[in-house]
Amino acid sequence: MDARLVAPAGAASAVAYFEIRNSGAVGDTLLYADSPEAGISMIRTTGPGRTERVPSVRVPAGGRVRMAPGGLGVVILDPPALAPGVTVDYNLWFRYSGRVTVRTPVVAGTK
């Protein structure tokens, strides 16, 4: 699983992106994501002039979901100071696979 957390200096929020691969024969569903180190998080999607909460994300059998700017991501509301170069643990909670903990590097971003 690829991951990164983009933390713009002085911003009121940050965002984490994950590339989730399902090598199994059965689909799974990402139900939510959290990090005790990063604060309150929610899965969301963005597009031109909109941001919406996403209740779950289907990960097809043998497939993948790639979160990226302008699409799916995990927004962190009121994040603590997160310095580029450190890593934080992120828990991804799936319907069938349960909790998957991912070491997520923090990278610099822009407001």
- pLDDT single digits (tens) 12-31: 889 999 999 999 999 999 99
The fold for domain 2-109 equals Immunoglobulin-like (2.60.40)
Identify whether the C-beta of residue 14 lies closer than 8 Å to the C-beta of residue 38: yes
pLDDT at 110: 63
Question: If pLDDT is split at 50, 70 and 90, which confidence band does 81 have?
Answer: confident
3-state DSSP assignment of residue 77: strand
Domain ranges across the chain: 2-109
The model's pTM: 0.92
Between residues 13 and 105, which one has the greater pLDDT? 105
